[in-house]
Amino acid sequence: MKKKLSLKFPKKKIQNLIISKKYLGNHLNMKVLNEFGFYVLKNALTKKLVEKYKNYYYENIKNQKIKKSDNHITQVIIKEKNKLNNIIKENKFIKIVKNFYEGNVGCDFIRIVRKDIYNKDLLFTHQDTGYQSGNTNDKYSLFIALTECNEFNGGINIFPGTHKYGYLGDVGEISKKITDKFLMLKTNLSDGDILFMNSNLWHNSYENSNLKDRIYLEVHIQNSFEPNTKYLVLGKSNNEWKISGDTKNLFTNSRTSRIKILNKHLSRLKKMINKSL
Ligand SMILES: [Fe+2]
């Protein structure tokens, strides 16, 4: 007989965190970040700096220099020479991350994750680690709010502490039967705030119901000695072990390519069935 799944977690501790609002402030609290897997840094960027990157974003969209990925609800890929990547060179940004990884801070990707009038769907509960490569611990997404990002336009909701379970071995939807037992927090950011999120932390987002743009500039940081570090933010990096380019090309038979092939077969089968009816 299969044993019933059971997940133990310190509910009281998380309740206290939420009531005390210690996850929120003008100074990054590394202790809270380590223990609960997230922190909301208020007014992290000046309004001027936020405006600059928000304008870059809208310019890029208007000139079609960036566009939404086909197989992703929110992702907008940024090419290497795009001005949006300059965020990691801003003094303000460098100051914010200087205490990570003993000052050796790398970044493996920068992207936009947005919802708007055209892309408004909710995102089921998941963790990001399974979509990433390299070491599975101690990596963080910095979600920089370029607009208001709240519960009404599909802002990120997180499940405090769940990064402690580590990588769960899949990238699918975490069962509602499980998440219903946990405490979920709506992160509700104003423009210029940053949500720090451990990549193992469970999270989701509601539908964009007020149809106002929800735009995060996401910078994913890691120890710069990781072989897949693409950009060095500060400190030193490794040049003995290095992966450059698209890691998808490591595989001839990847999970996503298999899904694409299966979908092709499926649509061919559907056509054949329809013809024979
Ligand atoms: Fe995610």
pLDDT in tens, the chain (277 residues): 678 899 999 999 999 999 999 999 999 999 999 999 999 999 999 999 999 999 999 999 888 888 878 777 788 888 889 999 999 999 999 999 999 999 999 999 999 999 999 899 999 999 999 999 899 989 999 999 999 999 999 999 999 999 999 999 998 999 999 999 999 999 999 999 999 999 999 999 999 999 999 999 999 999 999 999 999 999 999 889 999 888 778 888 887 778 888 888 999 999 999 888 7
> What whole-number distance in Å separates Cα of residue 162 and Cα of residue 67?
32
> What whole-number distance in Å separates Cα of residue 40 and Cα of residue 88?
18
Q: How far is the CA of 177 from the centre of ligand 1 (A)?
A: 20
- Say if residues 159 and 205 touch (Cβ distance below 8 Å): no
> What whole-number distance in Å separates Cα of residue 77 and Cα of residue 52?
19
Give 136's DSSP letter.
S
Tokens of 166: 């580590």
One-letter amino acid identity for 208? Answer: N
In angstroms, how far is CA 93 from the centroid of its own chain? 17
Q: How far is the CA of 57 from the centre of ligand 1 (A)?
A: 20
Q: How far is the CA of 127 from the centre of ligand 1 (A)?
A: 6
Q: How far is the CA of 272 from the centre of ligand 1 (A)?
A: 37
pLDDT of residue 55: 97
Q: How far is the CA of 274 from the centre of ligand 1 (A)?
A: 37
Following CA atoms 29, 52, 152, 41 in sequence, which dihedral angle do they give, to the nearest 10 degrees?
10
Q: How far is the CA of 218 from the centre of ligand 1 (A)?
A: 11
Following CA atoms 44, 50, 56, 58 in sequence, which dihedral angle do they give, to the nearest 10 degrees?
120
**Neighbouring-strand partners of residue 221:** 107, 140
Tokens of 264: 């092709």
pLDDT of residue 31: 97
Q: How far is the CA of 215 from the centre of ligand 1 (A)?
A: 14
Q: How far is the CA of 176 from the centre of ligand 1 (A)?
A: 16
Q: How far is the CA of 269 from the centre of ligand 1 (A)?
A: 33
Q: How far is the CA of 128 from the centre of ligand 1 (A)?
A: 5
Report domain extents, the chain. 11-245, 249-277
> What whole-number distance in Å separates Cα of residue 227 and Cα of residue 187?
32
Q: How far is the CA of 173 from the centre of ligand 1 (A)?
A: 11
Fold of domain 11-245? Jelly Rolls (2.60.120)
Q: How far is the CA of 113 from the centre of ligand 1 (A)?
A: 9
